């Protein structure tokens, strides 16, 4: 019995120990299942969003952030400030029909710059070639208002003209700058109306490519230069219709009047503008008097290079040491040249000691160095003999 009791005593403790580890195991399994049940959906949701913002409940309000980029620069500010002072200019030429009724046709378009407002009027500078031959001139303002303009004056050699309009719709005049202090490489902005008024207010940007350039001008289209215009060179695009528009600096100041470009297929980015410092006295004179008064001699002349070399000695009796000059073809009656004793076929070689090789050299001395009433010393040859004369310059009407 004792052995059996000891056996049973050994058995019961064994059964009791088995039950003690089973219950904690079951409890651990239940707790683990609950943890997994709650944790897995959150992990899946985080993985799906990959760090994105969680979806909001229907009761929550979604906020949309709007991002604005500020593209305002000094150039955009300058253009906005200046553009209203640049206008379109239309050249209208009247045509008569069979019933002798006149109808205005648009002969050309260009641009202009409002440089001054005074009283009830505004004053516009443009190119001579823009309004040349016009019977009427219309000005198209920045807001597309069409205004009739009065031509106060125009000048062929400077290629400048001045218009006057009513200033009721004019916003402002442009600020004047200086062209004498320009540096090659500094920014330049051209504003105008290329290809007519379809592209009014167009803006192109470049740099000053050169200052004090000289460009030959052939006014009568005979293939020979009649004048050398001093201009600013820029690579800011200047196309037909830009003529008369504004070339401005980075401060929005007027430094030139856009005038021309080299129109060759092999050439890109070469445009020209009339320097404002050279233009201002001419603009003022055109505004006040309607024309530019220049000194003149009263002669019709041609360059020696237009005469065959064989005729220099045979017809003009020039000595071999003469290498260039201009010869007088005709003299106006009562002109300074006639009063000073010059004659037909005299060959002028010097003015005030400066060599004169062609008509451009003569005009430069007269138009840039002399005033009406000044005296000028002329060296010339007549029948092979060298002579000198001092002539008082008259007024070119």
Q: What is the pLDDT of residues 267-314, one digit of tens each?
A: 566 889 999 999 999 999 999 999 999 998 999 888 888 888 888 888
Residue 195: per-residue pLDDT: 64
Measured distance CA(149)–CA(56) in Å, rounded: 66
Confidence of residue 13 (pLDDT cuts 50, 70, 90): very low
The CA R_g of the chain, rounded to the nearest whole Å, is: 43
**The pLDDT value given to residue 6:** 41
Q: Average pLDDT, whole number, for the chain?
A: 82
**Which entry of 138, 155, 159, 235 is annotated as an active-site residue?**
159
- Residue whose pair of structure tokens reads 């683990």 in the numeric block: 32
Rounded to two decimals, what is the model's pTM?
0.73
pLDDT over threshold 60, residue 3: no
Helix, strand, or coil here: 181?
coil
201 pLDDT band, cuts 50/70/90, is confident
Who contacts 185 (Cβ-Cβ below 8 Å, separation ≥6)?
A: 207, 208
pLDDT, greater one: 39 or 286: 286
Over the stretch 52-109, which tens digit does the pLDDT of each residue have?
Answer: 555 555 545 445 555 554 555 888 899 999 999 999 999 999 876 656 555 667 778 8
DSSP H or E segment with residue 35? helix 2-49
- Range with lowest mean pLDDT among 26-30, 120-124, 217-221, 286-290: 26-30
pLDDT at residue 38, as a whole number: 60
Q: How far apart are CA 253 and CA 189, in angstroms?
A: 10
Choice among 158, 179, 209, 243 that is catalytic: 243
Distance of alpha carbon 264 from alpha carbon 53, whole angstroms: 61
Q: Which residue has the tokens 């001045």?
A: 162
Cα–Cα distance measured from residue 33 to residue 45, given in angstroms and rounded to the nearest whole number:
19
Query: Quick one: CA dihedral 328, 333, 339, 343, positive or negative?
Result: positive
DSSP H or E run through 253:
strand 253-261
Q: Please give the residue that has the higher pLDDT: either 238 or 329.
A: 329
Q: Which of 215-224, 306-315, 318-327 has the highest mean pLDDT?
A: 318-327
Across-strand partners of 159?
none
pLDDT reading at 24 higher than 80: no
Establish whether 129 is a catalytic residue.
yes
pLDDT attached to residue 10: 43
Q: Which of 83, 128, 129, 358 is catalytic?
A: 129
Residue 154: pLDDT over 90:
yes
d(C-alpha 255, C-alpha 242), whole Å: 15
Q: Torsion angle of alpha carbons 42, 43, 44, 46, nearest 10°?
A: 80
Q: Are strands 354-355 and 385-392 parallel, antiparallel or unpaired?
A: unpaired
């Amino acid at each position: 019995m004792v052995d059996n009791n000891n056996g049973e005593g050994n058995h019961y403790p064994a059964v009791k120990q088995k039950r003690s580890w089973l219950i904690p195991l079951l409890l651990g399994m239940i707790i683990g299942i609950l943890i997994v049940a709650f944790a897995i959906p959150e992990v899946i949701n985080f993985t799906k969003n990959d760090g994105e913002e969680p979806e909001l409940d229907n009761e929550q309000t979604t906020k949309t952030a709007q991002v604005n980029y500020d593209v305002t620069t000094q150039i955009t500010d300058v253009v906005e400030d200046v553009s209203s002072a640049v206008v379109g200019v239309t050249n209208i030429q009247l045509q008569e029909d069979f019933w002798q009724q006149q109808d205005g046709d648009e002969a050309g378009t260009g641009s202009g710059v409002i440089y001054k407002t005074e009283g009830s009027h505004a004053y516009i500078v443009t190119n001579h070639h823009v309004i040349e031959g016009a019977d009427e001139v219309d000005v198209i303002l920045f807001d597309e208002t069409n205004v009739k303009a009065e031509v106060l004056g125009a000048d062929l050699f400077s290629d400048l003209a001045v218009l006057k309009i009513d200033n009721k719709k004019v916003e402002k005049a442009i600020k004047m700058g200086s062209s004498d202090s320009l540096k090659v490489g500094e920014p330049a902005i051209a504003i105008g109306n290329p290809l007519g008024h379809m592209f009014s207010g167009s803006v192109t940007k470049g740099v000053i490519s050169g200052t004090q350039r000289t460009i030959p001008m052939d006014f009568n289209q005979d293939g020979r230069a009649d004048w050398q215009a001093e201009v600013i060179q820029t690579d800011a695009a200047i196309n037909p219709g830009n003529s008369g528009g504004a070339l401005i600096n980075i401060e929005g100041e007027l430094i030139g009047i856009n005038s021309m470009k080299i129109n060759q297929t092999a050439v890109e980015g070469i445009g020209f503008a009339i320097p404002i410092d050279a233009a201002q006295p001419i603009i003022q004179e055109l505004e006040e008097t309607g024309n530019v008064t220049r000194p003149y001699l009263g002669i019709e002349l041609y360059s020696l290079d237009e005469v065959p070399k064989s005729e220099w000695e045979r017809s003009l009796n020039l000595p071999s040491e003469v290498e260039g000059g201009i010869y007088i073809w005709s003299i106006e009656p009562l002109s300074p040249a006639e009063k000073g004793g010059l004659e037909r076929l005299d060959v002028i070689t010097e003015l005030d000691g400066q060599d004169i090789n062609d008509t451009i050299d003569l005009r430069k001395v007269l138009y840039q160095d002399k005033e009406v009433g000044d005296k000028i010393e002329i060296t010339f040859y007549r029948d092979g003999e060298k002579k000198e004369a001092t002539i008082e310059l008259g007024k070119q009407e």
